[in-house]
Amino acid sequence: MKRLLNTLYLTNPDAYLRKKDDALSVYIEQEKVMSAPFHLLEGVVLFGHVGCSTSVLGACVSRGVSVSILDEGGRFQARVNGPTSGNVLLRREQYRRSVDESACLLIAKRFVTAKVHNARVVLQHYARDYPDMKEHGVANVIDELKRSGDDVRQCGDLNELRGVEGNAAHAYYSMMDGALRSDRIVFAGRTKRPPKNPVNAALSFFYTMLSRELVSACESVGLDPQMGYLHACRPGRASLALDLIEELRAPIVDRFVLSLFNRKQLDVGDFLAESQGYLFKEGTRKKVLGYWQQKKQDQIVHPFLGERMPLGLVPFVQAQLFARYLRGDLEDYPAFLWR
């Protein structure tokens, strides 16, 4: 089993990253504030104007440590990787199935089926925890999601499948406000560009964090993260990572974000309201990234493998299972089904 390594997040705009011996060192105003050995790192994420040298980038990619560059709001800007690795025959099979309409549809259905299932299970958990959600019609939405899961199996093409997925997502997000235990924040549906409330801002931020991890997971097992099935391929778009994140949004990110607000670890005062929507304050971003690292250490039993593992390993395991499916080691792709 792959070892869960750490991700180094740098959010201070005055920070500068340097290579010292076999470690990365963080400096602020010429003073070293921390150091992280390369062998403990799987990735580095730089926010905003954090600086680093080309020698740092070279040292990272030569050791298999990816470097992602995001803007102050957590939106993806660029990524630095080493040479492409992996079995070329695996990638050829990945490409072949993407242009085979029936094979592509079959794979896309697996992602959507898991997404709808996990959304329904998450709502069922919240409905048990918060009986007042019945007043918001949560039982009807849970039934609707069950019907959506049945509809997925009947879809004859990708456009029809995307329509079912979109309707299911809209129904699911309509219930999120009922699971939010805050008197100061109203979640009136999913908004992305811009995020119109703090919950949407947090969701977008951590979807970006998870998609970054899925890109790394795909590359680590030899898959091309840009060649997807449910999401259309576009230049610079990690379509396969976006496919895989669909099954993980509700059980990993949504539950985590709602817990931050419900436990009062996040509140409206932790955000800036600007023309581009709500953004984390600098101190808030550092705080929630710490919570995210802790969350990834939570132990779960993988629903297909039956093994205990840290939650943070799930992206890698799903990428590995998908690669095994493409190679023919598995008859079907076992999407992540939350219980």
In the chain, list all ranges with CATH 1.20.120.920.
89-327
User: 26: how many CB neighbours lie within 10 A of its CB?
Assistant: 19
CA torsion angle for 253, 255, 259, 262 (degrees, to 10)? 120
Whether the CB-CB separation of 130 and 123 falls below 8 Å is answered with no
In the chain, list all ranges with CATH 3.100.10.20.
6-80
89-327 carries CATH number 3.20.20.70 = no
- The amino acid sitting at 292 is W
What are 196-214's pLDDT values in tens digits? 889 999 999 999 999 989 9
* Token pair 């947090």: residue: 202
DSSP string covering 88-142, please? Answer: HHHHHHHHHHHHSHHHHHHHHHHHHHHHHHHHHHHHHHHHHH-GGGGGGTHHHHH
- Domain 6-80, CATH: 3.100.10.20
Along the 339 residues of the chain, how does pLDDT read in single tens digits?
556 567 787 877 788 888 888 888 888 888 888 888 888 887 788 877 777 878 888 888 888 787 878 776 666 677 776 666 567 889 999 999 999 999 999 999 999 999 999 999 999 999 999 999 988 899 999 999 999 999 999 999 999 999 999 999 999 999 999 999 888 888 888 888 788 889 999 999 999 999 989 998 898 788 999 999 999 888 878 999 999 999 999 999 999 999 999 999 999 899 988 877 888 888 898 899 999 999 999 999 999 999 898 998 899 899 989 999 999 999 999 999 998
Q: How far apart are CA 202 and CA 231, in angstroms?
A: 23
Determine the pLDDT at residue 332. Answer: 94
Determine the pLDDT at residue 2. Answer: 57
Whether the CB-CB separation of 74 and 9 falls below 8 Å is answered with no
